[in-house]
Amino acid sequence: MRPKRLLLTGAAGEIGRVLRPALRGVAEKVRWHDLRPIDDAAPGEEAMSGDLTLPGAAEAATEGVDCVVHLAGIPREAGGTPDEILATNVVGAHRMFEAARKAGVRRFIFASSNHVIGFYRAGEWVGTLEPPRPDGHYGVSKVFGEAMGR
């Protein structure tokens, strides 16, 4: 079923910039959101900026949305200190999941990472039943997001 309004968080980021052209036309309306301003939205696209860790920001982003693709956060260990990664990625993910739940969002797509299982030995088979073994604070933040999704 085609979403009426899709929200992409982290839309100005590394992956978000690649996904935006592919997501055009997937929904009747799209909303791009990032901490950084987005100044290249096409006609009919909505661009929002703000810090999703702040109270009310996630609620504003999810208003009227029925599908969320959540990419926002600090990517990889080099993107910030452990405190910054955990504050941004864990608090931000929690606020987004809660805002989406309260707004009645029907579908929430959380972008995880191979860093969730990064401390398994190379070549070792890892499936969906093995416990996470994150390889750093970024991986821990993604484990949190996966748990919220469950």
Quote the pTM value: 0.94
Q: How many C-beta atoms surround the C-beta of residue 11 within 10 A?
A: 27
Q: Is 120 in a helix, a strand, or coil?
A: coil
Told to judge if 120 belongs to the known catalytic residues of this protein, a careful annotator would answer: no
Place of tokens 């959380």: 110
pLDDT in tens, 101-121: 999 999 999 999 999 999 999
pLDDT tens-digit map of 111-149: 999 999 999 999 999 998 999 999 999 999 999 999 999
The alpha carbon of residue 97 and the mean position of all alpha carbons in its chain are separated, in whole angstroms, by: 10
Cα 77 to its chain centre, rounded Å, is 17
Residue whose token pair is 């991986």: 139
Q: Check 67, 138, 139, 140 and give the catalytic one.
A: 138
Among positive and negative, which fits the CA dihedral 144, 73, 18, 116? negative
